[in-house]
Amino acid sequence: MSNQSLLESTNKLVDKALKYTNISEDLAYRIKSPNATYSINFGVKLRGKLHTFQGWRCVHSEHLEPVKGGIRYSPEANLAEVEGLAALMTYKNAIVEVPYGGSKGALRVNPHEWEVHELERITRRFAQELIKRDMIDPARNVPAPDMGTGTREMAWIADEYRIMNPADINGRACVTGKPLGKGGIAGRVEATGRGIQYIIREFFSNPEDIKKANFKGGLEGKKVAVQGFGNVGYHASKFLQEEDACKIVAVLEHTGALVNPDGINVEKAKQYLSKHGSFEGCEQGKFIKDSASLLTEKYDILIPAAVEDVINSSNAENIKANLIVEAANGPISFEADEILNKNGVIIIPDILANSGGVIVSYFEWVRNLRHIRFGRLEKRRNLEQMKTLIDAVETMTGKTMPEKFKNQFANGVEEIDLIRSGLDDMICDAYRKVREAMIEHNIPDLRTAAFKTALDKIAISYETIGL
Ligand code: NAD
């Protein structure tokens, strides 16, 4: 384990990147320091007893408002972790050019220890505390799901905001990652996993990157291991298996791992895990209790999608994957990062790789403020234009257009198609810009280039507002 906090580790990475910028020392210090962290203890009477819960919401940088970042539920949550995660949000939001500062929240709670109705009361109480201090507000601070939370918790938070601010017409935009029908947007739940898939595809579209990672051939058939089979890990492996023909050879959960060199059926493994709480006895592969030990096996692509600091100075030297794609936030410690770079392991860093969630959250927030779904106004008009085009082509050529093309035109574009297209464009554009910065400034790795790209943008923002 690393003996420094996520914030310290992140700031060391920032220091490395600062050498490639013209940012002054005093401004760098300002950017790195969290603006404010609100710590809270609140009580909820449950099971005949008053339970005190501890939570945090950190605003790392308000150079743009609202600030944005998820809320995590975990028994290990702590102040230092929240501040580190909030810092990562500041840099991530800047890289993918969403108009937000960085924030993060957490509640120290094990969601599995409470019934759903109890969790609802705990979440609503936590939300009340944050709402009354503008720590949840469509214009100031907009949370989203993170580890241990999902659409259900976001719906409770949005409802609590509505009760406390009934006249706020934009109230639904106070939080993203809500369920469909409650102000949510299609494609948000799987967005982070989808983003992982898109960025890996983008990586494999560059012959120089493929060569640098010592790969032969394209993405098809590549052996992938995923740590954490929750929202992000499950979706990333599902899409990579179903749409890119990758082999998911290992899935590492905290209750044990499932291993199969011929490939695991992701959907069946997920169903088994949901039912039994562990992979033990699953026919999809061999069960191995000590899942962490499998991080150092040979894979083409390793996707840590669980928690921080899982690759650290104790195991980094033994990592054999060619490419690590950080779906989790902060899975590699500062020391481990140095070792992996020295050993030629390519890393697509968290602040770039897992930005799919915040990108689609941005679409949801905009949609809530517009009060109309994307594509609503133009859909019928576009269909009519397509029909006219088909008629014109058929009239001019004297031939009938094949049905498969006609059907594609006739179905038009759904909102989910627009969301996927926007996500693909924004995340791949960010990857290309970071890659170009790396080449242009002779920066040794993608992570340092990503931080440099973010820092340059944040510095301009600070300088223009005169801070
Ligand atoms: P989740 O709670 O849905 O899933 C996390 C999974 O990891 C769970 O199945 C859990 O059992 C497993 N896990 C926890 N500790 C583990 C360990 N030590 N070894 C193996 N497995 C372990 O959470 P999530 O939303 O998928 O988030 C996962 C990571 O991705 C977190 O670091 C989070 O900050 C990051 N992330 C999430 C989103 C999002 O949209 N949900 C966006 C960006 C980044």
How far apart CA 26 and CA 284 sit, in angstroms, is: 55
Given 32, 104, 178, 247, which residue is catalytic?
104
How far apart CA 320 and CA 323 sit, in angstroms, is: 9
259 within domain boundaries:
no
How far apart CA 156 and CA 350 sit, in angstroms, is: 28
What is the pLDDT, as a whole number, of residue 404? 85
What is the pLDDT, as a whole number, of residue 293? 96
Domain boundary at 364, 386, 409, which? 409
Q: Which of these, 373, 369, 420, lies nearest to 180 by C-alpha position?
A: 373
Q: Considering the chain, what is the average pLDDT of its residues?
A: 96
pLDDT digits (tens, 9 = 90+) for 302-349: 999 999 999 999 999 999 999 999 999 999 999 999 999 999 999 999
226 lines ligand 1 (CB under 6 A): no
307 lines ligand 1 (CB under 6 A): yes
230 within domain boundaries:
no
DSSP 175-212: SSSPPTTTT--TTSTTHHHHHHHHHHHHHHT-HHHHHH
- 291 or 466: which leads in pLDDT: 291
327 lines ligand 1 (CB under 6 A): yes
* Probe residue for ligand 1, chosen from 235, 251, 307 as the CB with the greatest number of ligand atoms within 8 Å: 307
161 within domain boundaries:
yes
Task: Using the mean position of ligand 1's atoms as its centre, give its distance from the Cα of residue 121 in Å.
Answer: 23
102 has pLDDT over 70:
yes
Residues 19 and 70 occupy one common structural domain: yes
Residues 367 and 461 occupy one common structural domain: yes
Protein residue with least CA distance to atom 27, ligand 1: 147
State in Å, rounded, how far the first CA of the chain is from the last one: 37
Instruction: Tell me if residue 467 falls in helix, strand or coil.
Output: coil
269 within domain boundaries:
no
287 has pLDDT over 80:
yes
Q: Is 92 a catalytic residue?
A: no
148 lines ligand 1 (CB under 6 A): yes
Residues 315 and 392 occupy one common structural domain: no
Cβ atoms 125, 55 nearer than 8 A: no
149 lines ligand 1 (CB under 6 A): no
Q: Percent helix, strand, coil in the chain (nearest 5)?
A: 50, 15, 35
> Residue 259 forms beta bridges with which residues?
250, 286
pLDDT digits (tens, 9 = 90+) for 451-464: 999 999 999 998 88
Residues 402 and 428 occupy one common structural domain: no
Residues 34 and 77 occupy one common structural domain: yes
How far apart CA 10 and CA 84 sit, in angstroms, is: 7
Helix then strand count (H, E) for the chain reads 16, 13
Protein residue with least CA distance to atom 8, ligand 1: 230
282 within domain boundaries:
no
Question: ∠ at Cα 188 (182, 194), nearest 5°?
Answer: 165
Domain boundary at 365, 391, 409, which? 409
Residues 401 and 429 occupy one common structural domain: no
Range scoring the smallest mean pLDDT among 88-102, 210-224, 229-243, 408-422: 408-422
Half-sphere CA count of 148, side-chain side, radius 13 A: 20
Structure tokens at 51: 């339970």
Residues 79 and 110 occupy one common structural domain: yes
For CA atoms 282, 287, 293, 294, the dihedral sign is negative
- Residue 95's identity, in one-letter code, is I
Task: Using the mean position of ligand 1's atoms as its centre, give its distance from the Cα of residue 14 in Å.
Answer: 24
34 has pLDDT over 70:
yes
Half-sphere CA count of 251, side-chain side, radius 13 A: 33
* Probe residue for ligand 1, chosen from 192, 198, 271, 363 as the CB with the greatest number of ligand atoms within 8 Å: 192
Task: Using the mean position of ligand 1's atoms as its centre, give its distance from the Cα of residue 429 in Å.
Answer: 25
Identify the helix (H) or strand (E) that includes residue 309.
none
Task: Using the mean position of ligand 1's atoms as its centre, give its distance from the Cα of residue 174 in Å.
Answer: 23
342 lines ligand 1 (CB under 6 A): no
What is the pLDDT, as a whole number, of residue 412? 80
141 phi and psi, to 5 degrees? -155, 115
What is the pLDDT, as a whole number, of residue 171? 98
Residues 21 and 121 occupy one common structural domain: yes
Asked whether the bond before 304 is cis by omega within 30 degrees of 0, the reply is no
402 within domain boundaries:
yes
Cβ atoms 81, 44 nearer than 8 A: no
Domain boundary at 409, 430, 452, which? 409
Task: Using the mean position of ligand 1's atoms as its centre, give its distance from the Cα of residue 328 in Å.
Answer: 6
192 lines ligand 1 (CB under 6 A): yes
176 lines ligand 1 (CB under 6 A): no
442 has pLDDT over 70:
yes
Q: Strands 223-227, 141-142: parallel, antiparallel or unpaired by DSSP? A: unpaired
Residues 357 and 336 occupy one common structural domain: yes
Identify the helix (H) or strand (E) that includes residue 421.
helix 415-440
255 lines ligand 1 (CB under 6 A): no
How far apart CA 428 and CA 352 sit, in angstroms, is: 9
Of the pLDDT bands very low, low, confident and very high (cuts 50, 70, 90), residue 155 is very high
Residues 6 or more apart whose Cβ sits within 8 Å of residue 345: 319, 321, 322, 323, 324
Task: Using the mean position of ligand 1's atoms as its centre, give its distance from the Cα of residue 439 in Å.
Answer: 32
Residues 99 and 37 occupy one common structural domain: yes
CATH number (domain holding residue 442): 3.40.50.10860
Task: Using the mean position of ligand 1's atoms as its centre, give its distance from the Cα of residue 273 in Å.
Answer: 15
What is the pLDDT, as a whole number, of residue 364? 98
What is the pLDDT, as a whole number, of residue 467? 62
As a whole number, mean pLDDT of residues 281-298 equals 97
351 lines ligand 1 (CB under 6 A): no
Identify the helix (H) or strand (E) that includes residue 26.
helix 25-32
What is the pLDDT, as a whole number, of residue 2? 60
69 has pLDDT over 80:
yes
As a whole number, mean pLDDT of residues 393-418 equals 89
285 within domain boundaries:
no
Protein residue with least CA distance to atom 9, ligand 1: 230
Please give the tally of structural domains in the chain.
2
167 within domain boundaries:
yes
453 lines ligand 1 (CB under 6 A): no
Instruction: Tell me if residue 137 falls in helix, strand or coil.
Output: strand
* Percent of the chain at pLDDT exceeding 70: 99
Residues 103 and 183 occupy one common structural domain: yes
Residues 389 and 421 occupy one common structural domain: no
Residues 6 or more apart whose Cβ sits within 8 Å of residue 222: 215, 246, 247, 300, 301
* Probe residue for ligand 1, chosen from 190, 231, 329 as the CB with the greatest number of ligand atoms within 8 Å: 231
Cβ atoms 291, 278 nearer than 8 A: no
What is the pLDDT, as a whole number, of residue 324? 98
1 has pLDDT over 60:
no
Cβ atoms 148, 114 nearer than 8 A: no
418 lies in which domain range? 1-215+300-375+413-467
Question: ∠ at Cα 145 (144, 146), nearest 5°?
Answer: 120
154 has pLDDT over 60:
yes
Nearest atom in ligand 1 to 252's CA: 20
355 has pLDDT over 70:
yes
